[in-house]
Structure 1
Amino acid sequence: MPDETSRARLDAATKQLEAPLAVVDLDAFDRNAEDLVRRAGGRPIRVASKSVRCRYLLERVLRRDGFAGVMAYSLPEALWLAGRWAGTDLARVDILVAYPTVDHTALCRLAADDHARGLVTIMVDSAAHLDLVDAALGADHPEIRVCLELDVSWRPVFGRDIAHVGTRRSPVFSPAQVRDLATTIHDRPGFRLVGLMGYEGQIAGLGDRPTGKPLLGAVLRWMQGHSAQELAVRRTAAVREVGKVGELEFVNGGGTGSIETTALDPSVTEVAAGSGLIGPTLFDNYQRFTPAPAVLFALPVVRKPRRRTATLFSGGFIASGIPGKDRSPTPYLPAGLSLIGTEGAGEVQTPVNGRAAKDLRVGDRVWLRHTKAGELAERFTEYHVLSGDRVVETVPTYRGEGQCFY
């Protein structure tokens, strides 16, 4: 729980820095990394870069035991990372692009780069993706590594899509559909099928212990348990079908919220995680684990309109997803502050109410947490790295390196 000692440490460490600012608590980040490895139970963890968006942090965790490979969001990002790491100890890190690409320019860059082409794998879920690559590169293009995405949502009504629980991603659901697409890829010149991937968002992305809603939590745990059981059988069958066509290098599954259940599936060779390194508020409502808040941001008090209200500068860092209160940043320190329901977090100001507000003065800082891990890096060009009670380094985010892939 947050306390005044934590606030005093943060304020003292950053007193020479101007707010707004964002910090990485390196001790918390490393503890979170250790916990992810523990939860993975021996499965290597592929780091989801979308949840980090800071090369310093990606490189730090990739050099730890238990982590291997990157799951990138876009092909331009994958090419950038491969280029930056060429000639370093991370030069052989393989990079899986988690979403299909329709970027002709990036595909041409991939085809022309022998180093990147040996490391980067693009995602496909239909022959249309293969057609697009051929259209971008020509029919006689160099071999492109591809991963087939399996829809791992739960369809509780006899496997039919009339009841779909999970994210809307791949159209490939059944083992037979996997076999057919794997055969198409295998028979298509210029492509090599190396992986199978599935993101179980209904398990990994839904907290099973929602605050103040025990009945909903019970329903979620029931759903997630049944979904995991069904998926273990179907994914194993899908992997078996692909094996009839060719050998896979990896089978990727999971996310921060589902590592334990995904790792129990014997067909999975690696798990994906990223948000668990950062510890945003989205992961406060899980029963199996509690990541430490490793990235925080501070906003300065610029007004005191009332005795128990303080108005902060900026702060409207609203997370993606279904709009709602749970997408807003959360006041963290001093404890006892909350956003105002009629105004919320705004682009230019964020008022907060609470008993602690009466002691705040113009120029003081309020520390907040964001909802989704990587999205804070879109708001700040740098993170101040905190170890113990001092800032030891200041490092750029993707934005700070002039990159915007989203």
Structure 2
Amino acid sequence: MTADKPGLQRRLDRATAHLETPIAVVDLAAFDANAAALSRRSGGKPIRIASKSVRCRALLERALARPGWRGVMAYTLPEAIWLVRSGVSDDVLVAYPTADRSAIAELVKDDELAAAITLIADHPAHLDLVDQVAPPSRRAEVRLCLELDASWRPAGPLHVGVRRSPVHSAGQASALARRLVARPGFRLVGLMAYEAQIAGVGDAPTGQPVRGRVIQLMQRRAFPELAERRAAAVTAVREHADLEFVNGGGTGSMAATAADPSVTEIAAGSGLYGPTLFDQYTNWQPAPAALFALSVVRRPAPRIATVLGGGWIASGPAHPSRLPTPYLPAGLRFRADEGAGEVQTPLIGPAASNLRPGDRVWFRHAKAGELCEHVNELQLVDGDTAAPTPTYRGEGFAFLG
């Protein structure tokens, strides 16, 4: 990935000169270029935008207005209801099971919401929750998507991937599908299999060449197994239900998943913002589109510049890869004994000596949408100008807060 860092810094500084830090921006030129690149990589299959990686209605709408983007993958049912009612989409898949009884009650009493929103199920207990809220005779039909575990199990108890659905084999998928379609008041319309060990794990971790080769080997072996098993599961489930979609993949596996004939649509979102975790992929690296700025407030030593704030840590395993990255000006890094602090963050490196109180440092977040949990507005930068638009938080919503 190459970038004109000095030019980008000058443009961001000019566009936001009238604003006080902290500032979070999305460079629309980079955002649009990433959206176009993802569309090309999807091989003509529609992309369902992963809202948790964006968390801004205006940018969800901007992506969905582009060719090749269709539907939303939400992360909570209240979010899905809000997105439908605010007109963002009439096709929303809630990609994680819900136990929110109030939201379920809202869903099943509204025919328009019930027709637009699909819930994930990997166990009949998920249906029991819905029936406890409202029996089938007193509610709208609920759309369901069966989730297939996409992890790799090469031998015995070895499990490579995230712990999501308990449904791993085609036989298990068939058995669950049979139970789901037999339940009154539900309709099985989709199947999802998210290959996190491929889509969500960079194969070129910084400074770890041996680990990178191991990851590449794992991914080369895991994907063919998944493609065969996913195809078998889709065939088995289609014996019980007329599936409208089969969802798979993510930004990190876009091209490979798109080539799987059993998949009808791809999920993606992080690639629009280009967070630092995606610098560790060899197949494609999105342009950095989302950044945030903090102000230098003190010089505790000649080679140290301290900014106010900075501890915007990403979720996942406790590891330096989850820290934000000082990006502009080039040549800054954290002190090992302090890292990214909640209130202040000392920075060292060649560029630190030239920074003075009032100067700005631009950072990149490790993950995509989590940046929006720290700010009420994103500044949408177009050329040398910036215009604010609210994040989910700015509109008063913290769906997992």
Instruction: State the Cα deviation string for residues 192-222 of structure 1 (Å, max 9, x = none).
Output: 0000001100000110112222222221111
Shift of residue 120 of structure 1?
A: 0.2
Tell me the amino acid that sits aligned with residue 15 of structure 1: A
Match of 1:134 in 2: 131
The superposition leaves residues 63-105 of structure 1 with CA deviations (integer Å, 9 ceiling, x where unpaired) of 10000100000000000000100xxxx55x3000000000100
| Distance in 1 of aligned mates of 2:296 and 2:207 | 31
Aligned-residue offset at 1:139: 4.3
- Match of 1:211, SS state, is coil
Task: Give yes or no for contact 1:2–1:333 (8 Å, CA) kept in 2.
Answer: no
One-letter identity of the residue aligned with 1:184:
R
Q: Does 1:102 align with 2:99?
A: yes
- How far apart are residue 3 of structure 1 and its match? 2.6
Answer whether contact 1:209 1:286 (CA < 8 A) is retained.
yes
Structure 1 residue runs of 4 or more that deviate by more than 6 Å after TM superposition:
none
Counterpart for residue 320 of structure 2: 325
Given the alignment of the two structures, is residue 402 of structure 1 paired with residue 396 of structure 2, yes or no? yes
Give the aligned partner of residue 365 of structure 2.
370
For residues 208 and 4 of structure 2, the distance between their equivalents in structure 1, rounded to whole angstroms, comes to 23
How far residue 260 of structure 1 moved from its aligned partner, in angstroms, is 1.2
Question: Counterpart of 2:86 in 1: which secondary structure?
Answer: helix
Task: Quote how far apart the aligned CAs of 1:142 are.
Answer: 2.1
Match of 2:47? 45
Equivalent residue, structure 1, for 2:77: 75
CA contact (8 A) 2:204 2:282 kept: yes
Distance 2:217 2:5 in 1: 35
Which residue of 363, 379, 396 maps to 2:374?
379
Give the secondary structure class of the aligned counterpart of 2:221. Answer: helix
Residue 150 of structure 1 corresponds to 148
1:131-160: CA deviation from partner (whole Å, max 9, x where unpaired): 111112224232100100000100001xx4
Does structure 1 conserve the Cα–Cα contact (< 8 Å) formed by 2:34 and 2:287? Answer: yes
The C-alpha deviation readout for 1:6-48, integer Å capped at 9, x for no partner, is 2111111111111111111000000000110111111100000
Q: Deviations over 1:205-256 (max 9, x none)?
A: 1101122222222211111111110011100000100111121000000011
Match of 1:21 among 7, 20, 23: 23
CA contact (8 A) 2:111 2:140 kept: no
Contact conserved, 2:295 with 2:358, CA < 8 A, in 1? yes
User: 3-state SS of the aligned residue for 1:206?
Assistant: coil
CA distance in 2, matches of 1:362, 1:308: 13
1:364-402 per-position Cα deviation (integer Å, ceiling 9, x unaligned): 1000000010001000000111011221x2100000000
Give the C-alpha shift of residue 2 in structure 1.
5.0
Aligned to 2:232: 237
Q: Give, in whole Å, the separation in 2 of the partners of 1:234 and 1:5.
A: 48
Q: TM-score, normalised by structure 1?
A: 0.96
Q: Give the total of aligned pairs.
A: 397
Instruction: In structure 1, list runs of 5 or more residues that go unmatched.
Output: none
Contact 1:97 1:120 (8 Å CA) reproduced: yes
Residue 32 of structure 2 is aligned with which of 25, 30, 33?
A: 30
SS in 2 for 1:118: helix
- RMSD of aligned alpha carbons: 1.0
Rounded Cα–Cα distance in structure 2 between residues aligned with 1:258 and 1:372: 16
Helix, strand or coil for the counterpart of 1:257?
helix
Secondary structure of residue in 2 paired with 1:284? helix
Cα offset, 1:288, TM superposition: 0.6
* Aligned-partner Cα distance in 1 for 2:248–2:330: 37
Structure 2's unaligned 5+ residue stretches are none
- SS state at 2:280 partner: coil
Q: Provide the rounded CA distance (Å) in 1 between the counterparts of 2:232 and 2:40.
A: 27
How many angstroms apart in 2 are the aligned matches of 1:253 and 1:306? 51
Counterpart-to-counterpart distance in 2, 1:280 and 1:14: 20
Aligned counterparts of 2:258 and 2:18: Cα–Cα separation in 1: 45
CA distance in 2, matches of 1:16, 1:378: 23
> What do the CA deviations read for 1:268-308 (whole angstroms, capped 9, x no partner)?
00000000000000100100101011010000001110111
The one-letter amino acid of 1:311's match is T
Contact 2:99 2:129 in 1 (8 A): yes
**Cα distance in 1 for residues equivalent to 2:83 and 2:355:** 43
Letter in 1 for 2:173: V
Per the alignment, in what secondary structure is the counterpart of residue 266 of structure 1? coil
User: Counterpart in 1 of 2:286?
Assistant: 291
Q: Determine whether 1:310 maps to 2:305.
A: yes
State the identity %: 58
- The answer to whether the 8 A contact 1:319-1:327 is kept is yes
**Aligned-partner SS, 1:248:** coil
Out of 338, 341, 350, the residue aligned to residue 346 of structure 1 is 341
